[in-house]
Chains A and B, each alone.
Chain A
Amino acid sequence: TQLLEQSPQFLSIQEGENLTVYCNSSSVFSSLQWYRQEPGEGPVLLVTVVTGGEVKKLKRLTFQFGDARKDSSLHITAAQPGDTGLYLCAGAEGGTYKYIFGTGTRLKVLA
Chain B
Amino acid sequence: NAGVTQTPKFQVLKTGQSMTLQCAQDMNHEYMSWYRQDPGMGLRLIHYSVGAGITDQGEVPNGYNVSRSTTEDFPLRLLSAAPSQTSVYFCASTGPGRGEQYFGPGTRLTVT
Contacts and interface: CB of A to CB of B under 8 A. Distances in A.
Range of interface residues on chain B? 20 to 34
B98 A104 contact: no
Interface stretch (A12-20, A36-44, A65-73, A76-84): A36-44
Contacts of A1: 59
Given A31-B98, A97-B31, A98-B48, A44 B42 contact: no
B102 A45 contact: yes
Contact of A41 (B59, B100, B101, B105): B105
B94 A97 contact: yes
A87 to B, nearest CB: 11
B99 A97 contact: yes
Range of interface residues on chain A? 20 to 34
A99 B46 CA distance: 11
B42 A31 contact: no
Interface in A61-111: 88, 90, 92, 97-104
